[in-house]
Amino acid sequence: MVVRVKNEIKIDESFYKVEEIRQLTNETFSVRLPKARFRFRAGQHISLSIQGDYQSREYSIYSGENDENLEVLVKEVQGGYFTPKLRKLKPGALVEVHGPFGKFRIDENYRDTHKHIFIASGTGIAPFRSMVRTYPELDYTLIHGVRQGDEAYDRHEYADGRYIQCTSRDKQGDYHGRLTGYLKEAQFPTDSRFYLCGNSDMIFDALEILKEKGFERDQIHCEVYF
Ligand SMILES: Cc1cc2nc3c(=O)[nH]c(=O)nc-3n(C[C@H](O)[C@H](O)[C@H](O)COP(=O)(O)OP(=O)(O)OC[C@H]3O[C@@H](n4cnc5c(N)ncnc54)[C@H](O)[C@@H]3O)c2cc1C
């Protein structure tokens, strides 16, 4: 909200100036904001709107808890209402941020002792990058389902052997085929902690596969985007 105080314009604390729109692929970009006083836990999401626009959308936080910027990773949805406008913003544009929201966070009871299996489709990788940046000692494997090899957003940040890209439309990935195909073939320690994030079809299928492999529902956390 913009409040007029006498002749000055005071900008509400929930408004942030865009620092950078970082284009990662033709369709996917990140929005970098100053972190200011914003506090969150890795895995949580924010609600974002553009100044002067009445609609808002939710985005997982892509940056780590201790990073200098607050960053989100966004896929431009063709024909979508919000994402084409967001992508066109220039540095200095104002966006409104609310949150943080959500309980999709690393369970501290298992954080230092258990293997974490992160399962993401597309931009569903966002909360996992935040977790990995926040907890560098975490024992994890990140399984990322995308269409093409160029969708391995910031892959170089993950230590060797921790990031497994599954590509369904080209052969550039570590695994050629759908993420669910990889999950069926893979073996995980029986006490692994699973975190699933992305579209509901992937999450539903992955839950079924993990159930068939004998994992309990309370070992599995989910964040559904759409
Ligand atoms: C908790 C939560 C966290 C989220 N975090 C992220 C995130 O980190 N990054 C991100 O890109 N999105 C994220 N989303 C989805 C996001 O909130 C919007 O739905 C998305 O950006 C589309 O907005 P739009 O206005 O352009 O499309 P709309 O006009 O709202 O929708 C158009 C259609 O696109 C579908 N759609 C939505 N997202 C996608 C997608 N990624 N790929 C293909 N189709 C899609 C919708 O189901 C709808 O049918 C999250 C959603 C939730 C609930």
208's tokens: 């079924």
Binned at pLDDT 50, 70 and 90, residue 13 comes out as confident
Same domain for 125 and 149, yes or no, is yes
97's tokens: 């941020």
Instruction: State the chain's mean pLDDT as an integer.
Output: 95
Taking the C-alpha atoms of residue 146 and residue 119, their distance in angstroms, rounded to an integer, is: 11
CATH of the domain at 88: 2.40.30.10
Binned at pLDDT 50, 70 and 90, residue 12 comes out as low
Q: Is 104 in the pocket of ligand 1 (CB under 6 A)?
A: no
Provide the residue count of the chain: 226
Instruction: Look up the pTM and report it.
Output: 0.95
93 within 8 A of 11, measured Cβ to Cβ: no
Same domain for 55 and 141, yes or no, is no
Same domain for 29 and 62, yes or no, is yes
108 within 8 A of 131, measured Cβ to Cβ: no
Mutate to test the pocket of ligand 1, among 77, 153, 200 (most ligand atoms within 8 A of CB): 77
Note the pLDDT tens digit of each residue in 47-98.
999 999 999 999 999 999 999 999 999 999 999 999 999 999 999 999 999 9
For the chain, what is the domain count? Answer: 2
Same domain for 121 and 220, yes or no, is yes
Taking the C-alpha atoms of residue 213 and residue 185, their distance in angstroms, rounded to an integer, is: 10
- Percentage of the chain surpassing pLDDT 70? 95
Same domain for 84 and 9, yes or no, is yes
Taking the C-alpha atoms of residue 177 and residue 170, their distance in angstroms, rounded to an integer, is: 8
Domain termination site, one of 55, 71, 101: 101
Tell me, what's the pLDDT at 143?
98
The residues near 160 (Cβ < 8 Å, ≥ 6 apart) are none
| CA angle in degrees (0–180, nearest 5) for 218-222-226 | 155
Taking the C-alpha atoms of residue 208 and residue 26, their distance in angstroms, rounded to an integer, is: 32
Domain termination site, one of 70, 101, 132: 101
In three-state secondary structure terms, 180 is helix
121 within 8 A of 167, measured Cβ to Cβ: no
The rounded Å distance from CA 112 to ligand 1 centre is 32
Binned at pLDDT 50, 70 and 90, residue 37 comes out as confident
Note the pLDDT tens digit of each residue in 158-195.
999 999 999 999 999 999 999 999 999 999 999 999 99
Note the pLDDT tens digit of each residue in 102-153.
999 999 999 999 999 999 999 999 999 999 999 999 999 999 999 999 999 9
Q: Is 49 in the pocket of ligand 1 (CB under 6 A)?
A: no
Strands 220-224 and 140-146: unpaired
